[in-house]
Amino acid sequence: MRPIKLEMAAFGPYKEHTILDFTQFNNQSLFLVSGPTGSGKTTIFDAIAYALYDSPSGESRNKDAFKSDFATDMDLCKVAFTFEVNGKEYYIERIPNQTGPGARGPKNIASSVLFRDGDIVTTKIKEANQEIAELLSINYEQFKQIVMLPQGEFKRLLESDSKNKEVIFRNIFGTEVILAFQEQLQKQVAQLNKKVEHNQVRLQSSLAYLPTLEDEELTNLVETEDYSAIIQRLSLLQQKRIEETNKINEEQTKQTLKTRALERHHEEKGVLEDLEEKIKQLADKETEFNLLEIKIKQFENAQACLEAKHQLDNEKEEEMTLAAHLLDTTNAINETKEKITAINSSFVHVEKDYQALPEWREQEQQLKENIAVFKQLDQLQEELDLLTSKDQTNQLDLDNLILELAQVEQDSKAIAQTIKKIQDSHIQISEIKEKLTKQKTIQTSHETRENDLNRMARLLDNYEQAKLNMQTEEQIFNSKNKAFTEATHQFNQNIAGLLASKMEENQACPVCGSLDHPAPAPLINHAPTEADLQILQVDVSEAQMNYSQAAARVGSLNNQLRELENQLSIQRSSLSDKQVEIQIKKAEVHEKITDLNIQLEELQIMTQTEETIQSKQTDLRKKEKTLLIRQAQLETDQERNKNEKVKKENQYQLLEKSVLDLEHARLEEEIKDLSEKIKETEKNYPLLKSQITDLEKQLAIYENTLSSQEKQIQAIKKRMILAEKNYQEKLSQAQLDENFEDQLLPIDQVESSRAKLSEYQDTVKITHSRYQEQLTVVASFGEHLDAQTLQNQLQESFKIADQLKREYQHLATQLDAISQVLTTMKTTYEEGQLLMDKFGHLQRISDIANGKSTETGRLSFERYVLAIYYEEIVLAANQRLAQMTANRYLLQRSERESKGAGAKGLELDVFDHYTGQIRSVKTLSGGESFKASLALALGLSDVMQQQSGGVQIDTLFIDEGFGTLDSESLEQAIQTLAELNANGRMIGIISHVDELKTRIPAHIKVTHSTSGSQAEIIV
């Protein structure tokens, strides 16, 4: 990522719209951000961090507090940042939450974003943040460690302990998944521990369900909570209870069989006595049911007589009905015969007319043929009128066609002339283009000549200016040299006075060695000192150097002028004349080129219409051909119409002669009358004939019906005789007279009596059968016992069975309780053993993974992985630190054992080559700490670039820290940053160190006032 332009408005201390165009630095990509404390230097980095990651550069600032305190509610706070990644530009604009300008005054404005990637624009904050993170291949935490080192956080990575470094590196290298694995292990261990504890509670609680067994050994085992031995003892007790239960169960079975035998003997004896009693009761009812059976028989005989009488009555009723139908049929036959006679009298006349129909149709056809002649005459007249109209239309079309052909011929001639002009224009265009090429070549030559003359003029101006500068430098040098010479002379003259001023009494003179000093040399007032001479000498040297450089500049320019004079074959004195001359020539050529271009444009405009003109010529030729074809068609149609008209006229004359003596109206009337007569006859004849046929068919049906009815009456009379005979026989058989109906009863009463009689008869039969069977059953028991004896034996058997049942239930209850507790304890104990094994194994893995095991020196999985990255970072950092500390210090991962069980493995030590000792980085001085921190940050940046798939980090921002360095350390740090800068990385530094201002020429200068801060780039 490389910044291109940063724009801020109402952001932090910057109230006004501030633009920082980083392209102004050109190739000076090492720059300093300088300004008073609190003026807004760090805010520039905040703006970049906020634009890219929606967060400030440091942890002490809040993104929603970015709006300038100098701004009003009608000012909009925003940041826009243009940057480059892999040679492609991107633009992002962010607006934080704020009270900002609205259409009707201040309003609440929600945060927003606009991220532009070429033609793709993203306006959703979450999506924009994700796209930028993917584009840069680093997240916000990584950005703070390898691109932007915020104020107050520079040394945090260097001096932090393993736990803090773990948090920092976790965010950078994305080892959250390993941490999640460690936490998952701890969670599983805790869950297993709870399950183990729960398992113990279940074992203890299961013992509460044991019944009182009065077993001393089991009681002792429960007190010691030896669950394995308890399970063994319960298994033994369970087996004993099973054996005791089985024994009682066998005794119960025997007693149950005995009791059931006594019960059955008692029951079967009771059943036999009940059957004997029931037989007596049935014998008492035998007379009653014999009378009921006789009464039912009398009813059945009377019912048979009644059915015979009903049959006789039905036959009589049917005979009367058929007699009535026979009378109706006879009347219908007489009426039908009368209708047939009446219709036959009308049919005779209609039949006579029907026979005359062929003659009438022939007359009608002759009349119609005469009428058709008149219609043909009308049609021929219409056709003659149509032919006359077509002839007139064709003649009009033919006249118009001749005029159109004449116009087409005229247009074709005009287009042919235009095409000839266009063809001539092509030749002229080629000639003009050749002339233009020649003139442009001349124009290029003049422009080259003019550029050379202008370059010579500029060089001549520079030469004259250099001469003036050389003369000035010469005067300065002569002046300073003269002053230095005079000062040297005065200093030499004053040497004796200086020596004399330092002599004391009885001290040998340094010149003559005499101890007597009668006339010591006096000091000259205002004579220069040796230091003054040194200053003057430096001034003279600088002036001489400046004069020499100016003279060299004049010589160089003079040589260049001579080369141009030889190259252009002109003298300096004639340069102005040559410039005027070349301007005149250029103007002449430009005028010629303009005239030629105008001519060329006119001709090209004409040639541009060539295709259109040729298309028109083609269209005219097609149109002429079409018109000629149309003319031939019209002439042919005209001739054909003329012949057709003559033919139709001849036909009309012939037809007109054939009907000359006939009247059209009379013929129509005769045809109408004859047609109506034919239609009436054709209608009435089939109608009357159909009516006669229908009546004859109906008469035949009636006659058939009459015959059938007569036969049915004869049959009924025979059935009546048989029915009468059957009725009398039924009365005789039942020994009843005509009053037999007195013997009839209601049907429901008869059915009820039948049911009672049947039930009684069935009961008698079944009861006698069961009685015989029961005698056999009772005899099978052998010993004959009375009822009382059986009852006593049953009571004794019940008493024994009840005692056995109570003993069985007691043992079964104990066995069930023991079995349930034993099953529960076995299952729980086995689960507990599995849980304990799994818990021990998993706890060991968790302790190792989470750095709680002494086996691995309390180094967690995550810190082990991070330590690998850390070694790479330290190795890369030492390359920088060795340079910045003249090979004195080297960083190394601490291997010292620390107290306690806290996080270990990521602390740093420093090896001092001067002392040969290893010590903590916290013992470094402020300047040494800064250099170590900077080296570590740069090392981290290098490793991060490798770990991020080789992503190129082209920018580094450092906020403060250089104030702790001495001049030598500052020089070393700057040298390191300069090497990074030379490799193409842009480096920005915020610092108050004055020496940096002189060492780094490219500045972002920040100033502030009562109305806010301003920033500008100074190169």
- Cα dihedral across residues 953, 955, 961, 967: positive or negative: positive
Rounded CA-CA distance 918/907 in Å is: 13
Distance of CA 898 to the CA centre of its chain: 52
User: Is the pLDDT assigned to residue 767 strictly greater than 70?
Assistant: yes
Instruction: Identify the pLDDT of residue 756.
Output: 81
- 714 found inside a domain: no
User: Is the pLDDT assigned to residue 938 strictly greater than 60?
Assistant: yes
Which ranges of 518-574 does DSSP label H, i.e. alpha helix? 530-568
The one-letter code for the residue type at 626 is: T
The one-letter code for the residue type at 950 is: G
Which tens digits make up the pLDDT trace of 107-159? Answer: 898 899 999 998 898 999 999 988 988 888 777 777 776 777 765 555 666 76
Query: Sorting pLDDT into bands at 50, 70 and 90, what band is 77?
Result: very high
User: Is the pLDDT assigned to residue 72 strictly greater than 80?
Assistant: yes
Q: 630: Cβ–Cβ under 8 A, 6 or more apart, which residues?
A: 401
What are the two backbone dihedrals, phi and then psi, of residue 900, each rounded to the nearest 5 degrees?
85, 180
- 10 found inside a domain: yes
- 47 found inside a domain: yes
Across the range 255-273, mean pLDDT stands at: 75
The one-letter code for the residue type at 110 is: A
Partners of 20 in beta bridges: 6
- Percent of the chain having pLDDT more than 70? 87
Which tens digits make up the pLDDT trace of 598-624? Answer: 888 888 887 788 788 888 888 888 888
Query: Sorting pLDDT into bands at 50, 70 and 90, what band is 176?
Result: confident
Instruction: Identify the pLDDT of residue 13.
Output: 92
Strand order in the sheet with 917-920: 889-893, 908-912, 917-920
Length of the chain (residues): 1019
Q: What is the DSSP letter of 494?
A: T
- Cα-Cα end-to-end distance for the chain: 22
- 720 found inside a domain: no
Hey, which bits of 140-271 come out as E strands?
A: 148-149
Which tens digits make up the pLDDT trace of 568-591? Answer: 888 888 888 888 888 898 898 899
Tokens of 356: 């005359």
Instruction: Identify the pLDDT of residue 824.
Output: 84
Across the range 930-951, mean pLDDT stands at: 73
Rounded CA-CA distance 1013/1019 in Å is: 20
The one-letter code for the residue type at 331 is: N
Which tens digits make up the pLDDT trace of 499-536? Answer: 666 666 666 665 455 666 676 767 666 777 777 877 88
Which ranges of 735-860 does DSSP label H, i.e. alpha helix? 747-779, 787-849
Which ranges of 569-663 does DSSP label H, i.e. alpha helix? 575-608, 610-658
Closest CA to 61 of 170, 132, 152, 169: 152
Q: Which domain holds residue 113?
A: 2-137+951-1018
- 815 found inside a domain: no
Rounded CA-CA distance 977/30 in Å is: 8
**DSSP letters spanning 96-153:** -SEEEEETTEEEEE--EEEEEETTEEE--HHHHHHHHHHHHT--HHHHHHHTEE-TT-
Rounded CA-CA distance 394/640 in Å is: 11
The one-letter code for the residue type at 688 is: L
Number of domains in the chain: 1
User: Is the pLDDT assigned to residue 652 strictly greater than 90?
Assistant: no
Instruction: Identify the pLDDT of residue 519.
Output: 67
Longest dimension (CA), the chain: 217
- 108 found inside a domain: yes
Instruction: Identify the pLDDT of residue 523.
Output: 67
Closest CA to 280 of 773, 777, 767, 774: 767
User: Is the pLDDT assigned to residue 904 strictly greater than 70?
Assistant: no
Least confident residue range of 371-385, 694-708, 758-772? 371-385
- Percent of the chain having pLDDT more than 90? 6
Rounded CA-CA distance 858/895 in Å is: 12
Instruction: Identify the pLDDT of residue 183.
Output: 87
- 1007 found inside a domain: yes
Query: At CA 193, angle to CA 192 and CA 196, rounded to 5?
Result: 85
Is the distance from CB of 731 to CB of 307 less than 8 angstroms? no
Question: Model pTM greater than 0.85?
Answer: no
- CATH code (residue 33): 3.40.50.300
Q: What is the DSSP letter of 383?
A: H
Rounded CA-CA distance 241/814 in Å is: 8
Closest CA to 356 of 676, 681, 692, 688: 681
Across the range 344-350, mean pLDDT stands at: 75
Instruction: Identify the pLDDT of residue 741.
Output: 67
Q: How would you label 546-575 residue by residue, b for 16+ Cβ within 10 Å and e otherwise? A: bbeebbebbeebeebbeebeeeeebeeeeb
Residue 576 φ/ψ region, left for φ over 0, alpha for ψ in the -120 to 50 degree band, beta for the rest: alpha
Is the distance from CB of 1002 to CB of 27 less than 8 angstroms? no
Is the distance from CB of 199 to CB of 828 less than 8 angstroms? yes
The one-letter code for the residue type at 50 is: Y
User: Is the pLDDT assigned to residue 661 strictly greater than 60?
Assistant: no
What HEC string does 237-254 produce?
Answer: HHHHHHHHHHHHHHHHHH
Which tens digits make up the pLDDT trace of 691-710? Answer: 778 888 888 888 888 888 78
Least confident residue range of 116-120, 620-624, 948-952, 979-983? 948-952
- 588 found inside a domain: no
User: Is the pLDDT assigned to residue 759 strictly greater than 70?
Assistant: yes
Least confident residue range of 69-83, 468-482, 800-814? 800-814
- Cα dihedral across residues 287, 288, 290, 295: positive or negative: positive
Compute the mean pLDDT over every residue in the chain, rounded to the nearest whole number: 80
Q: 288: Cβ–Cβ under 8 A, 6 or more apart, which residues?
A: none
Which tens digits make up the pLDDT trace of 379-432? Answer: 877 877 887 888 888 888 888 888 888 888 888 888 888 888 888 888 888 888
Query: Sorting pLDDT into bands at 50, 70 and 90, what band is 217?
Result: confident
Is the distance from CB of 894 to CB of 909 less than 8 angstroms? yes
Instruction: Identify the pLDDT of residue 999.
Output: 77
